[in-house]
Amino acid sequence: MNRQWRAFESFHSPLDPCPPRPKAYIVPPNQYYVMQPKGLRQYAPREALRRGTLWPDLYSPYERPFREGVSHGADGS
């Protein structure tokens, strides 16, 4: 799993008939930058348009971390 995804186990009542499932959320990479540092690596223009950002360090794929039928541990890996 991508390092931008965080997983957690929510409360599950013993009376709940549904099995517990891990929950996940994404922390966008721009949350770690107070100011954009100088000299960040850059994608080529065509690749930057395809990915939606010029800087690889700020790229976030926004894919679903959990898919039906795939089990993950508590840490999401």
44 inside domain = yes
pLDDT tens-digit profile of 19-69? 888 888 888 777 777 787 888 899 999 999 998 889 888 887 766 655 655
35 inside domain = yes
Q: Which amino acid is at 67?
A: R
Size (the chain), residues = 77
73 inside domain = no
pLDDT score recorded for residue 1: 47
75 inside domain = no
| Cβ neighbours of residue 70 closer than 8 Å, sequence gap 6 or more | none
pLDDT score recorded for residue 42: 94
Range of the domain at 23: 5-58
pLDDT score recorded for residue 41: 92
pLDDT score recorded for residue 48: 93
40 inside domain = yes
pTM of the model: 0.50
| Cβ neighbours of residue 50 closer than 8 Å, sequence gap 6 or more | none
64 inside domain = no
* Pair of tokens at residue 42: 């850059």
9 inside domain = yes
18 inside domain = yes
Domain count, the chain: 1
